[in-house]
């Protein structure tokens, strides 16, 4: 049995309401002032779901998008716009994104992609369920199924069209793996990279496997951050509890 997400019905109602609001907001930007300011567009169109820091919202299953590479951002907007993603009626999140993607103008997508890429990476908090994860099994699964495309540190690879997995919440990673496995994502004939993920996701046969691999990916965040930036770097946002533990002691 796979990990179960929270009750779908409340989210469906909330998602429809937010989707309608976002659609109106995007249309308003396009009609009233076709801004080229990515920050302005983000605040009007994206912040309701993805948060002011691009940190995502677990309640409505919106992922963190902060620091997402601009090439991947633009590719996914294209996929949503063209019906490569977000067409399955049970994929509420995807359908909401498709609505927004179709409302955005090309210059707005370009501005948004640059703004999102420049946003500080938000280090995700691991879910409590991962305390029981078998990280060694997760490491083996990652190296066998994920590392070739997403790199050894989950930082992604432009050459393969593979996005970074660091910065993504474990509940989002789990949801996407299940969408690929079920065909809700990656089934479009033109989605070559999605087809690869459909194949790779077939390794997920039970809840434990899903838990182990996502738990291991979360552990890669700290190593990636340490290799890229000093802990005090302003372009990294850590979970509040961890940030406190990293604070230097007061002078005596």
Residue 217 has pLDDT above 50, yes or no: yes
Q: Is the pLDDT of residue 7 over 50?
A: no
Give the domain ranges of the chain: 6-119, 121-240
CATH code for the part of the protein at 6-119: 1.10.760.10
pTM: 0.81
Q: For residue 236, what is the DSSP state?
A: E
Task: Judge if 6-119 and 121-240 fold alike in CATH terms.
Answer: yes
Angstrom distance (rounded) from CA 44 to CA 38:
10
What three-state secondary structure class fits 157?
A: strand
Structure confidence by residue, pLDDT tens digits, 133-178: 999 999 999 999 999 999 999 999 999 999 999 999 999 999 999 9
Alpha carbon 27 to chain centroid, angstroms: 24
How far is residue 103's CA from residue 155's CA, in Å, rounded to a whole number? 30
Question: Which CATH superfamily includes the segment(s) 121-240?
Answer: Cytochrome c-like domain (1.10.760.10)
H helices present in the chain, as ranges: 8-32, 38-41, 47-50, 70-81, 92-103, 106-118, 135-145, 147-150, 170-182, 192-200, 207-228, 240-246
For residues 217 and 172, the answer to whether their CB atoms sit within 8 Å is: no
């Amino acid at each position: 049995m796979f990990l179960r997400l929270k009750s779908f019905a409340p989210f469906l109602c909330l998602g429809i309401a937010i989707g309608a609001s976002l659609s109106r907001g995007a249309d308003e930007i396009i009609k009233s002032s076709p801004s080229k300011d990515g920050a302005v567009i983000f605040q009007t169109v994206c912040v309701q779901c993805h948060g002011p820091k691009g940190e995502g919202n677990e309640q409505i299953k919106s992922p963190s998008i902060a620091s997402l590479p601009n090439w991947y951002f633009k590719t996914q907007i294209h996929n949503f716009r063209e019906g490569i993603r977000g067409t399955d009626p049970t994929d509420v999140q995807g359908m909401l994104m498709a609505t927004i993607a179709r409302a955005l103008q090309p210059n707005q997508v370009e501005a948004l992609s640059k703004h999102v890429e420049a946003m500080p990476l938000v280090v995700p908090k691991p879910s409590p369920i991962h305390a029981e994860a078998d990280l060694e099994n997760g490491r083996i699964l990652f190296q066998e199924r994920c590392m070739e495309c997403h790199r050894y540190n989950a930082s992604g690879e432009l050459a393969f069209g593979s996005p970074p997995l660091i910065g993504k919440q474990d509940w989002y990673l789990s949801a996407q793996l299940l969408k690929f496995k079920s065909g809700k994502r990656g089934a479009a004939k033109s989605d070559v990279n999605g087809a690869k993920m459909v194949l790779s996701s077939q390794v997920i046969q039970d809840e434990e496997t899903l838990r182990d691999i996502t738990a291991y990916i979360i552990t890669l965040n700290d190593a990636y951050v340490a290799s890229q930036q000093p802990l005090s770097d302003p372009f990294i946002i850590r979970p509040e509890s961890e940030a406190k533990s990293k604070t230097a002691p007061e002078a005596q």
